[in-house]
């Protein structure tokens, strides 16, 4: 799950700030072109050539303007600002039909869940809580959205109605019961029966990858070892694997693990901070953020960790990617 993830322990901080109300009077989306539409192209800063996104397009959050803005990245490298608000946006997630994006924003003061068309028209606020609503994730049928509210796992209909609790947050956290304390949503199983999430304890220096059925039953810990922060899970389209970020031995890496907890494998093996992975629609690729170039940019790699390709080259942090299904 990709919740305001920054280097180090800041991944677990929930930033709040006062904001305006909802974006009235915003300017239309503006495009930031990147030269060329071939298999490789020159980066805007004149550095090494950039690779193409292998398929469809992606939404992501960039801080190139000093705050979190929602952008899209097309296959030809075109980047479009979809939000253009003075407030913070975070945690984008595409609807299964590729027409809408759910995201969290503090444009109403507290972080709440919003849905907009993929061109950011018809922005609709779905929640109005003061506990911090983050990490919205669409169900595979597009009928529901799971999200985190103050650490509790929640679900609602895609129009914001019928909000219900899946798993309540608990302040008492032990290593053996960490998944029982709530956390941050990572995504749905492809059959729509379960969600994966991570639960973490700053005091104990641990985070676990967890799964629970959407009715709150059948809670299980997928991964708790080795000790460290195991966070930001995303379920593979075939339902067999979960990709996640591991912070063990002081290093941030992208790992993949089978849903039964076996086969834990480091995909990145890089000294840089690699974070916030998300699967391509066909499960063959993973998009993620990394500062291996000195600044946080978006990268794609094969699901086995090969063919790592840099996708962006801009000032400020590019991260929190979500791959469009279409």
Task: Assess if residue 313 is contained within a domain.
Answer: yes
pTM here?
A: 0.86
Judge contact between 72 and 80, C-beta under 8 A.
yes
Judge contact between 93 and 322, C-beta under 8 A.
yes
Q: What digits encode the pLDDT tens for the residues 216-256?
A: 999 999 999 999 999 999 999 999 999 999 999 889 999 99
Domain count, the chain: 1
Task: Assess if residue 131 is contained within a domain.
Answer: yes
Q: For residue 234, give the nearest of 199, 261, 195 by alpha carbon.
A: 195
Q: What digits encode the pLDDT tens for the residues 98-117?
A: 999 999 999 989 999 999 99
Task: Assess if residue 33 is contained within a domain.
Answer: yes
Task: Assess if residue 62 is contained within a domain.
Answer: yes
The sign one gets for the Cα dihedral 304, 310, 316, 320 is negative
Task: Assess if residue 59 is contained within a domain.
Answer: yes
CATH code of the domain in which 201 resides: 2.120.10.30
Task: Assess if residue 1 is contained within a domain.
Answer: no
Confidence band, pLDDT 50/70/90 cuts, at residue 318: very high
Query: Domain containing 115: what range?
Result: 8-323
Count of alpha carbons within 13 angstroms of residue 268, beta-carbon side: 28
Angle of CA points 106, 109, 115, to nearest 5°: 40
Q: What digits encode the pLDDT tens for the residues 271-304?
A: 999 999 999 999 999 999 999 999 999 999 999 9
Task: Assess if residue 241 is contained within a domain.
Answer: yes
For residue 322, pLDDT over 70 is answered with: yes
Beta bridge partners of 50: 41
For residue 45, pLDDT over 70 is answered with: no
Task: Assess if residue 198 is contained within a domain.
Answer: yes
């Amino acid at each position: 799950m990709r919740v305001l993830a920054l280097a180090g322990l800041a991944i677990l901080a929930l930033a709040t700030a006062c904001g305006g109300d909802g974006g009235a009077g915003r300017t239309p989306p503006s495009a930031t072109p990147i030269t060329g539409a071939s298999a490789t192209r020159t980066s805007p800063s004149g550095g090494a050539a950039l690779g193409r996104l292998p398929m469809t397009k992606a939404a992501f959050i960039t801080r190139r303007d000093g705050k979190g803005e929602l952008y899209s990245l097309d296959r030809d490298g075109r980047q479009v600002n979809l939000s253009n608000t003075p407030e913070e946006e975070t945690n984008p997630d595409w609807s299964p039909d590729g027409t809408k994006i759910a995201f969290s924003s503090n444009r109403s003061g507290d972080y709440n869940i919003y849905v907009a068309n993929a061109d950011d028209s018809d922005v609709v606020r779905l929640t109005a809580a003061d506990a911090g609503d983050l990490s919205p994730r669409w169900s595979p049928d597009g009928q529901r959205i799971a999200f985190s509210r103050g650490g509790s796992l929640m679900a609602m209909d895609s129009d914001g109605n019928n909000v219900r609790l899946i798993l309540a947050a608990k302040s008492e956290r032990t290593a053996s019961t960490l998944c029982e304390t709530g956390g941050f949503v990572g995504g749905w199983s492809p059959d729509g029966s379960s969600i994966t999430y991570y639960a973490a304890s700053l005091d104990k220096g641990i985070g676990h990858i967890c799964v629970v059925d959407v009715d709150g039953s059948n809670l299980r810990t997928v991964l708790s070892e080795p000790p460290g922060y195991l966070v930001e899970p995303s379920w593979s389209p075939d339902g067999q694997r979960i990709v996640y970020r591991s912070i063990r031995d002081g290093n941030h890496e992208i790992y993949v693990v089978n849903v039964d907890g076996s086969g834990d494998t480091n995909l990145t093996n890089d000294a840089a901070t690699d974070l916030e992975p998300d699967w391509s629609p066909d499960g063959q690729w993973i998009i993620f953020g990394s500062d291996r170039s000195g600044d946080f940019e978006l990268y794609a790699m094969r699901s086995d960790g090969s063919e790592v390709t840099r996708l962006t080259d801009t000032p400020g942090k590019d991260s929190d990617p979500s791959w469009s299904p279409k």
